[in-house]
Amino acid sequence: MVYGLTGGTGSGKTTVANYLTEMGYTVIDADVIARSLTDPGSNVLQLLAETFGEEILAEDGSLIRKRLGDIVFNNKEKLQQLNDIMGPSMDKAFLKALNDAVLERPYSKVFFDAPTLYESGREYMVDKVWVVAAGLETRIKRIMDRDGLSREQVLARMANQLPEEEKIRRADVVIYNDGTLEDLRRAVEKALK
């Protein structure tokens, strides 16, 4: 079984992914895949530079992720272009990682940590979806503390994501993360059972 792991910013996905890794499960990280696809000299990065301009590249040819992020932020058309470029390579890399995981541990659950699983229309890639959720104020505070952002910056980031209620509605399993880290660990163990 392949489980998608998703949720809004500050919900605690990465924390859940870390627990699952500690417990011995394979967690395929969509952000790690995206980064590896945009290594200097890669075809994907070249296509991104042709589409969004050379200004997304640093002098050493590496991607300035923040600049690309600023270009697609709040721009549906550009975000779509980015997804069209990244999508096929992401799918291929995900399937390869999944294949490796299954060969290594044939009967284990595999998790796909994908913050934008729903937004990118990738839920068909997994069998079931776990959504990590937490109250809005809790999430805002966590991200302000973690990333040193203002409340407005966190809200702007959230505005680009599918609302949490929508994710909860579409989830197979919801892990509520409003308590302590110990509560979260117990919720993960319960979800696994």
Contact residues for ligand ATP, defined by CB under 6 A = 7, 9-15, 115, 142-143, 146, 177, 180-181, 184
* DSSP secondary structure, 55-117, as one string: GGB-TTS-B-HHHHHHHHTT-HHHHHHHHHHHHHHHHHHHHHHHHHHHHHSTTS-EEEE-TTT
Q: How far is the CB of 10 from ligand ATP (least distance, A)?
A: 5
Closest contact distance (angstroms) between CB of 94 and ligand ATP is 18
CB 38 within 8 A of CB 45: yes
Residue 4 or 10 having the CB closest to ligand ATP: 10
Query: Per the structure block, which two tokens stand in for 164?
Result: 């949490």
Residue 2 token pair: 């392949």
Tokens describing residue 144: 């302000």
Contacts of 20 (CB under 8 A, 6+ apart): 5, 27, 111, 188
In the complex with ligand ATP, the residue whose CB is nearer, 93 or 175, is: 175
Which CB atom, from 68 or from 184, has the smaller least distance to ligand ATP? 184
* Nearest residue (CB) to ligand ATP, 57 versus 68: 68
Q: Nearer to ligand ATP by C-beta: 7 or 63?
A: 7
Q: Closest approach of Cβ 183 to ligand ATP, in Å?
A: 7
Count other Cβ atoms within 10 Å, centred on residue 129. 21
CB of 124 to ligand ATP, least distance (A): 22
How far apart are CB 115 and ligand ATP at their closest, in Å?
5
- Contacts with 152 (C-beta within 8 Å, 6 or more apart), sequence order: none
